[in-house]
Amino acid sequence: MESFSDWLLNVLKQRNMSQSDLARLAKIGTGTISNIMSGNRKVGKNTLQAIAHALKLPPETVFRAAGILPQQPPETEIAEQIIHLTKELPAQEQSDILEFVKLRHRIAEERQKNEAKQPRSKPAIP
C-alpha cells in the first residue's frame, strides 16, 4: 500500500503544485507539510481536512489515503468526487448536472437495448 506522503506527492505532481502551494491553500505551515512529506509527522484529522479542502477533494478520499478509512472501489471514489464537487456549485448548476446525468443514463440504456437487438454474427466456418 502506498504511504500517505507518496500519495500526496503524486497528487501534487498531477496538479503541478508545490508543497508551499499546498501549505498556502491549506493554511498549514510549510514545515508541517515538509514533515508530512518526509513521514516525520503523524497527520491529524484537522490537517487532513485542510489538505482535502485545499485539493478540492472529498475528505473521505484524503482519509483513505492516510489509512484512517478503509479503501473503496474506484467507482465509489468517483461518485464521492462528483458529489463533493457538485455540492460546491449553486443550486441551478446542481440541477443542470442532475439533468445531464439523467440524459447520459438514458443514452446508456438505449445503447444497451440497441446492442441487444443486433443479431450476433456467426463465426466463419473455415
Identify the pLDDT of residue 76. 85
In the chain, which stretches have pLDDT less than 70?
A: 1, 41, 120-126
Structural domain ending residue among the three candidates 65, 82, 100? 65
Whether 22 and 61 map to the same domain: the answer is yes
* pTM (predicted TM-score): 0.68
123 part of a folded domain: no
pLDDT, position 77: 82
Is-contact 51 19, C-beta < 8 A? Answer: no
Q: Give pLDDT, residue 97.
A: 92
CATH code of residue 14: 1.10.260.40
Check whether residue 85 and residue 59 sit in a common domain. Answer: no
Q: Which domain holds residue 83?
A: 74-117
> What are the angstrom distances between the C-alpha of 10 and each of 6, 15, 16, 96, 118?
6, 9, 10, 32, 44
pLDDT of residue 92: 94
* Statement to judge: residues 22 and 49 lie in one domain: yes
**Domain membership flag for residue 122:** no
Q: What is the CA radius of gyration of the chain?
A: 21
- Which pLDDT does position 73 carry in this prediction? 84
